[in-house]
Amino acid sequence: MFETLALPLMCAPMSFASSVPLAVACCTAGVLGGWQGGRITHLEPFARYLEALQEIGGAPPIVNLPARIATDPDGEAKLALLERAQAPLVLSSVGDPAMLVGRVHGWGGRIIQDVTTLRHAEKAIAAGVDGLMVTCAGAGGQTGFLSPFAFVPAVRRRWEGLLIVGGGIADARGIASVLALGGDIACMGTRFIATPESAVAATHREMIANASIDGIVVSAAMNGVPGNWIRESLIAVGLDPAALPDHRIEMPEGVRPWRDIYSAGHSVGLIDGVEAVRDLVARLRNEFDALVPSAGWRTRLAAIETEWR
């Protein structure tokens, strides 16, 4: 599975940014291709995503689903499609992953739980997950608040398995830092939004390329969960970034978070423009290889796969 990786990197599953072209481009280029399956309300695009990735091979895809997926109207049908495709990796989020652990293990897949606190991590470990993705401060969309310099080593003390780390990462130094802290794979979201393959509006890509770290606003006003948003996009829809409450508010007419109000992480200051996935991954690989020998991280991921078997 992991032997096909060009470097230890995952493209985050992202609402509105996830697309079949983005996931396919990532897997083809040699990074884990994340896709936001929980947001899809129709089964056809869900099936199309799985079919497209089965055809191309490359690095493995990873599908994000809410832990409560079985209670959703199309939840059982989505799980059946994943089973039929023998999906190798599922990323669970927002809730207890115990049910998904049993289902995914049933077809031979592996399940990773997204966590933002140490308590979340401990619960996921107890539920029997195969990996953890720790979302740290600086992540775009629904963010974490813990520093990776403290959070990642604290989780590593309790967990010997696969550890994916996200939050404010956009360059090769960030990937190398994940390994230095004890992680196995870095997760980038904002950097992959600024690619032509992502499904966002062109203005979203342009704002990311032009934004600075000081232009990111954290707020729960959009959907009740704290997230990072680009200041200019808030102003563009008539919201005052300085006057947002700590609770969910009614959006201006016709405005939807993520689609019209743009999320982005602290890494915007490291992104200078829109770059095709193939070129982005090739550049990151060259820069990363100059920093970190490949033998170490590849040996570690091979050992994890051996444990999984």
Q: Which domains does the chain have, with CATH numbers?
A: 2-199+272-308 (3.20.20.70)
Beta strand 89-93 pairing with 131-135? unpaired
Q: How confident is the model at residue 293 (pLDDT cuts 50, 70, 90)?
A: confident
Q: What is the pLDDT of residue 191?
A: 97
Q: What is the pLDDT of residue 41?
A: 67
pLDDT of residue 195 exceeding 90: yes
Q: What is the pLDDT of residue 16?
A: 84
Q: For residue range 20-39, list pLDDT tens digits in order.
A: 899 999 999 999 999 888 77
Could you tell me the pTM of the whole model? 0.94
Q: What is the pLDDT of residue 211?
A: 95
pLDDT of residue 68 exceeding 80: yes
pLDDT of residue 55 exceeding 80: no
Q: What is the mean pLDDT of residues 169-177?
A: 98
Q: For residue range 148-167, list pLDDT tens digits in order.
A: 999 999 999 999 999 999 99
pLDDT of residue 221 exceeding 90: yes
Average pLDDT over all residues of the chain:
93
Q: For residue range 105-150, list pLDDT tens digits in order.
A: 999 999 999 999 999 999 999 999 999 999 999 998 888 999 999 9
